[in-house]
Amino acid sequence: MFAANRRTAFDFKAEGVEGIPDGMTIDIDGNLWIAVFDGSKVIKVDPRKGKKIDQINFPTKNVTSVAFGGENLDILYVTSAKHFLSEEELKAQPTAGALFEVRNLGTKGLAPGFNYRGPF
């Protein structure tokens, strides 16, 4: 069943964000964290306003997914890929394909099984 109140949470093109939205997760504040494939970053979006509120840059082009983890769900794990990179790009991006760990974000993820309904 689809929600009757569907809307765009964030428009990459309109907001000038280069890259392709890939994996994403939501934090306890209702903000969306989006891995940007071909964009070297993860963006934090307020889906209520449709605006980017933060960005984390990575030393590799193809950022693929994000998930909160750790004992307190306060660590953001970020995956990346080697796919679609030339030999030259792979040499310039030795961390391509790595798993990154980001701490001290001031937020945390939702517990498993939590049914976030949001303010919509």
Q: Which residues are catalytic?
A: 22
Neighbours of 34 (CB within 10 A): 26
Residue with tokens 């030393």: 59
Angle at 25 (CA atoms; ends 104, 16), nearest 5 degrees: 90
Q: 103 is written with which tokens?
A: 């701490």
- Residues whose CB falls within 8 Å of the CB of residue 16, separated by 6 or more in sequence, listed in order: none
